[in-house]
């Protein structure tokens, strides 16, 4: 077991599973990895053994050798038992990318929350006439994107269709509090929000095991974004509420099986760290907007330590707008629509800012 006491995180495994292999992290629960074509170069997936077959939790992206890696497992350790179903924690391509292929090949159900399934169907649908809609362009302009680059950005925001196999046309709905009996365990469905609409986690209360998806990750912080599909959303308030709920309901000795990095212990520390991390950035935004009204784009140096590339721009922009919307709805910021079509935000009462700028770890990520 490796440990980092300064961070309050303990890692039970020193090495990740190799291609075509897995590691048993609890009786009948197996951890494997698939490659991703980005700085975050992997996703953790899990397979749960049942008496009659296997259940897969998250699938990997439609990219590279993902299907080959699955086939190595089907021909190897999974041989002799059929696949029974696919559970996807949420809508992002690294989690649902191969769901259509797996479900079609094995004729098994896809299980998701309703918010994730319908959002996934929306994000994988082709744009009418192949053109971005006016709301997408307006969202970028109001966030402060210069007019000359709006079309370039809009052309890159075409949804997930290219990196997701066609989704099944039906699904089985997962609800918060529901229990799934798989492999002699009672998995409670715990739904969080903020990173995505209705993110599914699975919790085994007997052995204190949580399949956390992107809801709790040990080293990076999941992207919390306002997306053009819901331009007035306030996902950060949902994120805070979810983090506090998981902090209250999970025992400290819970083994967290996340979608990225490695399985770990230290749920309470990590959840508290995530809350402090975002509160630190809220305080920094209030300070910056007290000096001079700012657009979302102008706040990038406050939120991100490195320069944001054009491919990362939509997610980074969504993250900045999410923090602004949180403070705006809280009454900490006011905003004004200027002649250039952009919202500029300014602080209302910096003297009584409820947040303190503590050392909260790394800068915000730019991650799907």
What would the pLDDT profile of 109-134 be if each residue is shown by its tens digit?
Answer: 999 999 999 999 999 987 777 666 88
Relative to beta strand 172-173, strand 110-112 is parallel
> Which one is predicted more confidently, 272 or 160?
272
The pLDDT of residue 7 is: 67
Q: Are the beta carbons of 197 and 116 closer than 8 angstroms?
A: yes
Q: To 5 degrees, how large is the angle CA 60–CA 265–CA 83?
A: 35
**Burial level of 236, CB count in 10 A (0-12/13-18/19+)?**
buried
Give 208's contacts (C-beta < 8 A, 6+ positions apart). Answer: 250, 251, 253, 254, 255
Domains of the chain: 2-127+159-275 (3.60.15.10), 277-352 (1.10.10.10)
DSSP classification of residue 127: P
What does the pLDDT average to over 19-42?
95
pLDDT at 11 over 90: yes
pLDDT at 366 over 60: no
Phi, psi of 129 (to 5 degrees): 60, 10
What does the pLDDT average to over 274-288?
96
The pLDDT of residue 287 is: 94
The DSSP secondary structure of 207-260, one letter per residue, reads TTEEEEETSS-SSS-------TTSTT--HHHHHHHHHHHHHHHS-TT-EEEESS
Q: To 5 degrees, how large is the angle CA 99–CA 240–CA 362?
A: 85
What does the pLDDT average to over 191-203?
98
The DSSP secondary structure of 140-203, one letter per residue, reads HHHTT--HHHHHHHHHH---SGGGSPPPPS--EE--TT-EEEETTEEEEEEEE-SSSTTEEEEE
What does the pLDDT average to over 177-185?
97
> Which one is predicted more confidently, 134 or 107?
107
> What tokens does 13 get?
């495994």
DSSP classification of residue 292: S
Give 178's contacts (C-beta < 8 A, 6+ positions apart). Answer: 188, 189
133-160 residues labelled b (16+ CB within 10 A) or e (exposed): eeebbebbbbbbbeeeebeebbeebeeb
The pLDDT of residue 125 is: 86
Lowest mean pLDDT among 112-121, 138-147, 195-204: 138-147
The pLDDT of residue 130 is: 63
DSSP classification of residue 317: H
| Alpha helix stretches (DSSP H) within 49-146 | 66-75, 93-96, 99-106, 114-124, 134-142
CA distances from 38 to 42, 65, 115, 262 (A): 8, 15, 26, 17
pLDDT at 5 over 50: no
Give 357's contacts (C-beta < 8 A, 6+ positions apart). Answer: 280, 283, 284, 287
Candidates 301, 363, 347, 296; CA nearest to 323 is: 296
> What tokens does 342 get?
């952009």
The pLDDT of residue 152 is: 76
Lowest mean pLDDT among 102-106, 133-137, 209-213, 318-322: 133-137
pTM of the model: 0.92
Crossing angle between the packed helical segments 313-330 and 147-156, to the nearest 10 degrees: 110
The pLDDT of residue 355 is: 61
What does the pLDDT average to over 263-287?
96
The pLDDT of residue 261 is: 96
Torsion angle defined by CA atoms of residues 211, 214, 215 and 220, in that order, rounded to the nearest 10 degrees: 120
What does the pLDDT average to over 249-269?
97
What does the pLDDT average to over 253-258?
98
The pLDDT of residue 275 is: 97
pLDDT at 276 over 50: yes
The pLDDT of residue 158 is: 67
pLDDT at 99 over 80: yes
The pLDDT of residue 1 is: 46
Lowest mean pLDDT among 146-160, 239-253, 264-278, 290-304: 146-160
Candidates 56, 6, 53; CA nearest to 34 is: 56
Percentage above 90 pLDDT, the chain: 79
């Amino acid at each position: 077991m490796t440990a980092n006491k300064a961070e309050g995180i303990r890692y039970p495994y020193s090495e990740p599973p190799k291609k075509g292999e897995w590691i048993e992290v609890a009786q009948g629960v197996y951890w494997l990895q698939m490659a991703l074509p980005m700085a975050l170069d992997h996703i953790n997936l899990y397979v749960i053994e049942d008496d009659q077959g296997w259940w897969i939790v998250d699938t990997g992206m439609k990219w590279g050798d993902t299907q080959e890696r699955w086939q190595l497992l089907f021909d190897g350790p999974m041989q002799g038992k059929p696949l029974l179903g696919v559970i996807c924690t949420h809508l992002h391509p690294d989690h649902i990318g191969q769901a259509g292929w797996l479900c079609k090949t094995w004729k098994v159900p896809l299980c998701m929350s309703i918010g994730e399934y319908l959002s996934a169907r929306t994000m994988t649908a082709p744009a009418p006439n192949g053109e971005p809609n006016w709301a997408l362009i307006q969202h970028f302009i109001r966030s402060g994107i210069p007019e000359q680059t709006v079309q370039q950005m809009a052309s890159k925001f075409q949804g997930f269709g290219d990196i997701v196999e066609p989704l099944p046309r039906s699904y089985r709905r997962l609800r918060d509090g529901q229990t799934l009996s798989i492999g002699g365990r009672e998995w409670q469905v715990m739904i969080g929000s903020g990173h995505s609409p209705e993110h599914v986690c699975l919790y085994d209360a007997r052995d204190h095991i949580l399949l956390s998806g992107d809801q709790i990750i040990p080293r990076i912080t999941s992207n919390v974004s306002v997306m053009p599909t819901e331009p007035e959303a306030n996902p950060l308030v949902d994120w805070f509420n979810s983090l506090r709920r998981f902090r209250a309901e999970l025992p400290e000795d819970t083994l967290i099986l996340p979608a990225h990095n490695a399985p770990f212990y230290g749920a309470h520390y990590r959840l508290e760290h995530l809350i402090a991390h975002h509160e630190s950035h809220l305080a920094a935004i209030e300070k910056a907007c007290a000096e001079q009204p700012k657009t979302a784009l102008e706040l990038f140096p406050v939120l991100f330590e490195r320069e944001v590339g054009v491919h990362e721009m939509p997610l980074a922009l969504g993250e900045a707008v999410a923090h602004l919307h949180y403070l705006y709805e809280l009454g900490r910021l006011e905003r004004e629509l200027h002649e250039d079509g952009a919202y500029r935000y300014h602080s209302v009462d910096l003297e009584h800012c409820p947040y303190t700028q503590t050392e909260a770890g790394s800068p915000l990520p730019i991650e799907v």
